[in-house]
Amino acid sequence: MSTDFRQAALDYHAQPTPGKISVALTKPAETQLDLALAYSPGVAEPCREIAREPDLAYRYTGKGNLVAVISNGTAVLGLGNLGALAGKPVMEGKALLFKRFAGINAVDVEVDTENPEEFINTVRLIADTFGGINLEDIKAPECFDIETQLIERCDVPVFHDDQHGTAIVTAAGMLNALEIQGKRLEDAVIVCLGAGAAAIACMRLLVSLGARREHLYMLDRRGVIYAGREGINAYKEEFANRTDKRSLSDAISGADVFVGLSGADLLSTQMLLSMADRPVVFACSNPDPEIKPEVALAARDDVIIATGRSDYPNQVNNVLGFPFIFRGALDVRASCINEAMKIAAVQALSELAHEPVPDEVLAACGLDALSFGPQYIIPKPMDNRLLGAIATAVARAAVDSGVARLPYPQDYCPTL
């Protein structure tokens, strides 16, 4: 990162007003009557109604369009355990993205504890304030149990974006890349370098979509996770393969797909060359991928490569998922975000990339043309069609799977 960019980032967050989000009023507050309605004595009326019928909080307050972005700062971006307060810029950033891309009000909540039960209890006790909970930057393996328990204990959707947002966007891009390469997910040999929250969620979702566990090799810092290996937790054990492969070099030979959620420059050109014909590489470590696209494409011209970076084609970015997933869930008042809703989001995101790209998206990206193919396997974040496509699919899946508390809205068309 250049010194100029670093300073620009610091200036962006500091000037002219510190931070990235603020509170805006939705009602007039100019006259004596306005204040009497907004606060005492008028506010007593909706309080009485909500005490009588709790669901009326959705009518008389902003709860139904309010999401909490909650973290304890134990896994901030790729920076590690920086603590709750140091994670606040990230949580504010997520709140900004909720508002910018889906019109959802969001606030950040930093919980200063590494004790999972303390964190769970804190979130549980404040959950009813919000229409949904977006968990963020919580280290594995604690994040799995934290999310599971909060889903069970809270009456609003709870979604760990590092797990499921990453998985949804990765899966959508993967389905399209394999289609372009003339391959099927159920036949593909997949190597996943990384065994944290995002990696495990990605592989779980790919299995739900048809990938075969016996074709899947997951690696952590100690190498391939194989059946009988000692010292692995229950989440890694889920992907223990019966194999004599032990290293990345072993696993990658002949593989169709590489998914990297690990660290910079860990996939060598020699390893890439050992992969099957027409391979798919998702090198998602940020800011430096497991292999740089220019290096990969120089080594072989039949590879489709995606990264987490905006300065390369095929960016795997969670902003393509979570704002629109929550929009659909909130609009039918879903009690959770279940597997059917996640798969619906994958399919909607995948299908949108097949559509002609609007001129305004080309202009925003500084491009003259863009169409479905090796350099465009997934929509761009600035594509305004994402909101309608994904939110609609998620809302419909929530209703069809029985977790919606409201019927599917007639002529539903979410807009900013």
> In whole angstroms, how far apart are CA 285 and each of 153, 174, 308, 309?
33, 16, 7, 9
> In whole angstroms, how far apart are CA 185 and each of 13, 57, 182, 373?
42, 44, 10, 17
Which entry of 63, 94, 292, 342 is annotated as an active-site residue? 94
3-state secondary structure of 272: helix
Specify whether 88 is catalytic.
no
Q: Distance (Å, rounded) from C-alpha 50 to C-alpha 125?
A: 18
Q: Distance (Å, rounded) from C-alpha 185 to C-alpha 257?
A: 10
Structure tokens at 317: 């970015």
Look at residues 396, 412, 415 and name the one whose alpha carbon lies nearest to residue 404: 396
Specify whether 94 is catalytic.
yes
Beta bridge partners of 69: 108, 134
Q: Distance (Å, rounded) from C-alpha 205 to C-alpha 343?
A: 8
Amino acid letter for position 375? Q
What is the tally of helices (H) and strands (E) in the chain?
Answer: 17, 10
- Could you count the other beta carbons within 10 Å of the beta carbon of residue 309? 20
Structure tokens at 67: 């999401």
> In whole angstroms, how far apart are CA 98 and each of 25, 67, 319, 347?
18, 8, 9, 21
Q: Distance (Å, rounded) from C-alpha 30 to C-alpha 75?
A: 44
Q: Distance (Å, rounded) from C-alpha 116 to C-alpha 195?
A: 20
Q: Distance (Å, rounded) from C-alpha 412 to C-alpha 416?
A: 13
Beta bridge partners of 159: 134
Structure tokens at 174: 């993967």
Q: Distance (Å, rounded) from C-alpha 384 to C-alpha 354?
A: 15
Q: Distance (Å, rounded) from C-alpha 358 to C-alpha 379?
A: 11
Q: Enumerate the active-site residues.
A: 39, 94
